[in-house]
């Protein structure tokens, strides 16, 4: 039987950091080589793009931050500007309005928008899995899935967390009549004010904010109990596929950015610290970087990979919960050719 362990924010990041360090030594470092063009090489004319996030600029965007700072996008012929967002809907609206915007959104949010007729296409994975966790304050019992019964469980409205919550309930045979889900606009604040007992959120959002405030907490991981939520995706307008080569360059440069971000913390942590929205200590940034490794690239995956089976499973769950009113034609909504071309390009350059 798996159990979720009680931990302070320091222990939480420390455990994941140790676990992630083993990944880093064995498998995690991305397959793309670092680029170092010869001095005096003529750079291609840069195509201008905006990378619109679905949240604040944080260490979760370290790959793009370092790629921009190191000139990796420019060397690839792109001029990339990273912009903060306020949720999936904000990123989706920005992409729908501009052919030269690349968005980041949860797979669930992307599928919902696509099912509602928004002409967007996912072309790469931003992370392999979503860092979703249940969070509680130290005096709340949260060891096993059954501990959620009888508790007020808050989460932000939207398809991603709703899908995770109900899949968790189903896989662990919890009695829905004993659960008290609460959709909240400010679940973290509600938790601190004791209006709810547990929140379902993200390690890099709610977990980060708790750590930033030096508030102790404990977690229960859905991944430890059979729920592996699909990660966020990069997506564009359908029309943007006409410049597919630029999207391939984006994937390659972003991967190189993640390589560089993890290669030398002494160099990259200050770059990240100066680029993010909320002020964070360098030690906290380093802990978060270590903690998020397992979600970015689990064993055996390459940067940007899209798991077709997981996407189809998620769509089925969203249809069953009536979050989607009709199914999405995934052959049109998800484009795998950009990744394949990027992989081939990098294989030739090795």
What pLDDT, on a 0 to 100 scale, did the predictor assign at position 301? 73
pLDDT at position 44 over 80: no
Q: At what angle do helices 265-273 and 282-296 cross, to 10 degrees?
A: 100
What pLDDT, on a 0 to 100 scale, did the predictor assign at position 298? 67
Closest CA to 261 of 34, 19, 1: 34
Q: Which residues of 16-50 are buried (b: 16+ CB within 10 A; e: fewer)?
A: bbeebeebeeeebebebeebeeeeeeeeeeebebb
Stretch 135-161: mean pLDDT: 95
- For residue 20, name the pLDDT band (cuts at 50, 70, 90): very low
Name the percent of the chain lying above pLDDT 90. Answer: 73
User: What DSSP string describes 198-255?
Assistant: EEEEEIIIIIHHHHHTT---EEE-GGGGT---B-EEEEEEGGGGGGHHHHHHHHHHHH
What pLDDT, on a 0 to 100 scale, did the predictor assign at position 349? 66
Between 300 and 213, the more confident residue is 213
Q: What's the rounded Cα separation, in Å, for the pair 205 and 223?
A: 17
User: What is the tens place of the pLDDT at every residue in 170-214?
Assistant: 999 999 899 999 989 999 999 999 999 999 999 989 999 998 899
Q: How far is CA 33 from the centre of its chain?
A: 23
How many CB atoms within 10 Å of residue 346?
20
Name the percent of the chain lying above pLDDT 70. Answer: 85
What pLDDT, on a 0 to 100 scale, did the predictor assign at position 24? 40
What pLDDT, on a 0 to 100 scale, did the predictor assign at position 299? 62
Q: What's the rounded Cα separation, in Å, for the pair 201 and 45?
A: 41
3-state secondary structure of 162: helix
How many CB atoms within 10 Å of residue 291?
24
What pLDDT, on a 0 to 100 scale, did the predictor assign at position 295? 86
Stretch 91-116: mean pLDDT: 97
User: What is the tens place of the pLDDT at every residue in 321-341?
Assistant: 899 999 999 999 999 999 999
Closest CA to 103 of 116, 85, 115: 85
DSSP summary character for residue 38: P
What pLDDT, on a 0 to 100 scale, did the predictor assign at position 129? 86
Handedness of CA 71, 72, 74, 78 (dihedral sign): negative
pLDDT at position 105 over 80: yes
pLDDT at position 4 over 80: no
pLDDT at position 14 over 80: no
Cα dihedral 180→183→188→191 (10° resolution): -30
Stretch 290-315: mean pLDDT: 85
Average pLDDT, the chain: 87
What pLDDT, on a 0 to 100 scale, did the predictor assign at position 135? 97
pLDDT at position 266 over 60: yes
Lowest mean pLDDT among 20-29, 256-265, 296-305: 20-29
Q: What's the rounded Cα separation, in Å, for the pair 300 and 2?
A: 24
Closest CA to 58 of 218, 247, 232: 232
Q: What's the rounded Cα separation, in Å, for the pair 38 and 303?
A: 25
Handedness of CA 182, 185, 188, 192 (dihedral sign): negative
The strand pair at 132-136 and 218-220 is best described as antiparallel
User: What DSSP string describes 269-317?
Assistant: HHHHHTTSSS---HHHHHHHHHHHHHHHS-TT--TT---HHHHHHHHHH
pLDDT at position 13 over 80: no
pLDDT at position 9 over 80: no
Which residue has tokens 């979720």? 4
What pLDDT, on a 0 to 100 scale, did the predictor assign at position 350? 58
User: What DSSP string describes 305-324?
Assistant: ---HHHHHHHHHHHHHTTSS
What pLDDT, on a 0 to 100 scale, did the predictor assign at position 3? 40
């Amino acid at each position: 039987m798996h159990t979720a362990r009680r931990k302070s924010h320091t222990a939480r990041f420390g455990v994941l950091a140790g676990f992630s360090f083993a990944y880093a030594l064995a498998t995690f470092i991305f397959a793309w080589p670092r680029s170092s063009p010869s001095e005096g090489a003529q750079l291609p004319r840069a195509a201008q793009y905006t990378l619109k996030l679905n949240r604040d600029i944080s260490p979760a965007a370290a790959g793009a931050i370092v790629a921009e700072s190191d000139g990796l996008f420019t060397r690839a012929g792109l001029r990339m500007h990273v912009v903060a967002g306020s949720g999936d809907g904000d990123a989706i609206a920005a992409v729908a309005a501009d052919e030269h915007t690349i968005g980041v959104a949860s797979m669930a949010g992307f599928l919902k928008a696509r099912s509602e007729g928004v002409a967007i296409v996912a072309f790469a994975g931003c992370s392999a899995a979503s860092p979703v966790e249940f969070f509680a304050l130290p005096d709340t019992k949260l060891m096993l899935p059954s501990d959620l019964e009888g508790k007020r469980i808050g989460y932000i409205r939207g398809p991603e967390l709703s899908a995770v919550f109900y899949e968790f309930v189903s896989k662990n045979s919890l009695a829905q009549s004993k659960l008290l889900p609460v959709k909240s606009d400010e679940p973290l604040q509600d938790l601190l004010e004791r209006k709810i007992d547990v929140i379902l959120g993200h390690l890099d959002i709610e977990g980060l904010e708790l750590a930033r405030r030096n508030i102790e907490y404990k977690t229960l991981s859905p991944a430890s109990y059979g729920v592996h939520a699909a990660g966020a995706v990069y997506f564009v307008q359908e029309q943007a596929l006409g410049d597919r080569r630029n999207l391939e360059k984006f994937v390659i440069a972003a991967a190189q950015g993640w390589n560089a971000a993890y290669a030398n913390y002494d160099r990259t942590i200050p770059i990240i610290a100066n680029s993010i929205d909320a002020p964070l200590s360098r030690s906290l940034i380093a802990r978060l970087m270590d903690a998020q490794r397992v979600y970015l690239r689990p064993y055996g995956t390459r940067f940007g990979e899209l798991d077709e089976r997981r996407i189809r499973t998620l769509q089925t769950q969203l249809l069953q919960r009536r979050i989607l009113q009709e199914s999405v034609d995934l052959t049109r909504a998800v484009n795998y050719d950009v990744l394949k071309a990027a992989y081939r390009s990098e294989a030739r350059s090795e």
